[in-house]
Amino acid sequence: MKTADPRAAGRQARLAAHAFTLFALGVWAVYGLLVESYVMPGPAAVAVRLGEFVLDIHLLKHVLYTIWHILAAVVISFLIGSASALLAFYFPPARLMVHGRLSPFLNSFSGIGWTLLAVVWFGINDITVIFAISAVLVPFAIINMREGLDGLDADLFEMGESFTRRRFRRFVLIVIPSLYPFIFATLRISFGVAWKVALTAELLGGNTGLGYLLNLARQDFDMPLLLAVILIIIAFVYSTDRFVFVPIQGRLARHHGAG
């Protein structure tokens, strides 16, 4: 039986993907000609809007504000979630509090709810947006770090105790390196979820960011701007995952056996 050429199969897959993209753009362009521009503008009008994000500093700053909101929230939620998981791991009486009360509560409360509460507490500003995103991301960090801590090798701990009695040194040299795959998974999941939550938080409680632009576009029936924002989000999230997270995951898979 003849074995298929992997390179030929790869070329066919790429050709099919590009053909689908061209087909989707063609359908979009035709539909844009059949309806009013405020319902569905064509690709050319959206492309012009995309170009304005590069040339207009006032539009570009909203992209940077959203990135800032997301990065700040990911860091804050990771630190809080990791600290909570470590507290439950090293202080067993706190396990029920963290994993039986705090994590389920945070995991069940919606991002819209946190945003509305933050608007009342902090007003419409960056703090509200970062708070709402962080509150949604904290349970992801707690759950992922808990899995990593519960899966630590007991024999590795025993070996570490034979070399040093300093708990902090064992934590830095044994625990943290063992948690690298889980730390990466937490950050990757949090980054993806943060983009979804950030738009809602900026839409309802922010005065900067892409979510704020979406709100303006909705009020002004500016569909080219709305679609341009959506395309920017898709391109940024895909590019970050493809060119940042995937290579890092490959390196972790080689060193730690992470999938």
The pLDDT tens digits along the chain (259 residues) read: 455 567 777 788 888 888 988 998 899 888 888 888 778 888 888 888 888 888 888 888 999 999 999 999 999 999 999 999 999 988 889 999 999 889 889 888 888 889 999 999 999 899 999 999 999 999 999 999 999 888 877 777 777 666 767 777 778 777 888 888 888 889 989 998 998 889 889 888 888 889 999 888 888 888 988 999 989 888 888 888 888 888 887 777 776 554 4
- Long-range contacts formed by 122-126: CB under 8 A, 24+ apart: 124/205, 124/206, 124/207, 125/205, 125/206, 125/207, 126/65, 126/68, 126/69, 126/206, 126/208
Amino acid present at 165: R
The ranges assigned to domains in the chain are: 1-34, 36-256
Contact 159, 136 (CB under 8 A): no
> How much is the pLDDT for 259?
42
> How much is the pLDDT for 222?
86
> How much is the pLDDT for 164?
67
Question: Has domain 36-256 been given CATH number 1.10.3720.10?
Answer: yes
pTM of the predicted model as reported, rounded to 2 decimal places: 0.84
Contact 209, 65 (CB under 8 A): yes
